Amino acid sequence: MKRPLRALAAAGLLAAGAIVAVALGGTASADTQICEQYGSTTIGGKYVVQNNRWGTSAQQCINVTSTGFSITRQDGVGSTSGAPVSYPSIFVGCHYTNCSPGTNLPVQVKNISSAPASISYNYVSGAIYDAAYDIWLDPSPKKDGVNQMEIMIWLNRQGPIQPIGSPVGNASIAGRTWEVWRGSNGSNNVISYVAPSAIPSMSFDAMAFINDTKNRGAITSDWYLTSIQAGFEPWQGGVGLAVNSFSQSVNTGGTTPTTPPPATTPPPGNAACSVKYTTNVWNNGFTADVTVTNTGSSTVNGWTLTYNLPSGQTITGSWNATVTQSGSAVTARNLSYNGTLSPGASTSFGYQASMTGSFSVPSSFSLNGAACTRV
């Protein structure tokens, strides 16, 4: 999302009545150089790549490939206590009236069944920057101007920079632990998920972060997802930073999982699955991230994980699976995109729960009726 209304306002650099414009480009087939301040082009018939040099008059150029882009020139210098100088990025959805080809955004959160994502970055040393996966939401189906909610996923942070606001705790999402920051820049609210160390590539469901933001009361299911973007916020330097590849879809419709075939139960004592159960606990609740691995020799086509929660624990929301609870019994079923587990493959889902009394974890898990080992 264009950053003048985000960080320039926060840094006191946005003049009253300033006009933000987007220069629309063509379609990149061979490598395309973009040096225009807000120049953009489309790739893959689905995504928009933008230079988005909003915070400096100094030159910045990007080289757009068929799958992403790299920064080839970045002359701006920003104060590490203030705002970055730009946000060169690739996106799907609508950004200041510039909509990616064939996008189904904006769409209400309650109508999204999944948002599978994949990103691969190239990092450099000697520069000050963050690598940010940005998710924008608004109460209205907004296609222009600033949205009210920004989710930032910081996969890498280099130098003495920090997200907007202050730390509010940790979250376990997409099989990883994130430091969570929350604040406002005066124009929109921001929740940032900061990785403790650099993540060069990641595949995940963006809905996991949207659901966590919803569970924190920052948005509701009636809000609209307007765009999802991936790129860099450089403060100083950054030549060579690249998005090698980017894939983002937003699937709408029901969340009914695929029907699993009859399960073949392995002989007792020969579990064909393992479960890792990771939690983040506070005084009256917790989040759980559950990683299921197929340790057998046959592919699992459709899975159902069952277990019992300790007394006093009640699930209030979930992501990456359809999770239901009856008394203490929990049933988690795959969604349409993560039902197949080849031998050695893993998938993760998670949920948030309320809690009374002391915290403890489930004692056992079964996948399609077969007991799993705990790891």
pLDDT digits (tens, 9 = 90+) for 265-307: 333 334 589 999 999 888 888 999 999 999 998 899 899 999 9
On the question of a cis peptide bond just before residue 106, with omega within 30 degrees of 0, the verdict is: yes
Task: Confirm if 170 and 182 have CB atoms less than 8 A apart.
Answer: no
Choosing from 130, 138, 212, 233, the catalytic residue is: 233
For 6-15, what is each residue's pLDDT tens digit? Answer: 333 333 333 2
Q: Which residues of 32-66 are buried (b: 16+ CB within 10 A; e: fewer)?
A: bebeebbbbbbbbeebbbbbbbbbbeeebbbbbbe
Which amino acid makes up residue 335? L
Count of CA atoms in the C-beta half-sphere (13 A) of 243: 34
Six-digit token string for 117: 């994502």
User: Is residue 9 classed as helix, strand or coil in its secondary structure?
Assistant: helix
Query: Are 294 and 344 contacting, i.e. CB atoms less than 8 angstroms apart?
Result: yes
**Which stretches of 44-125 are assigned E, i.e. beta strand?**
47-50, 60-64, 69-74, 89-95, 98-99, 107-108, 112-114, 116-122
The predicted pLDDT at position 77 comes to 95
- Residue 181: CB atoms within 10 Å: 20
36 is catalytic: no
**Tens of pLDDT along 110-142?**
999 999 999 999 999 999 999 999 999 999 999
- Give the model's pLDDT for residue 255: 43
Contacts of 15 (CB under 8 A, 6+ apart): none
Task: Say whether 150 is catalytic.
Answer: yes
Catalytic residue among 134, 138, 150, 212: 150
Residue position matching structure tokens 């990771």: 278
Say whether pTM exceeds 0.85. no
All residue ranges of the chain with pLDDT < 70 are: 1-30, 254-271
65 within 8 A of 11, measured Cβ to Cβ = no
Distance between alpha carbon 352 and the CA centroid of its chain, in Å?
17
Q: What is the pLDDT of residue 337?
A: 82
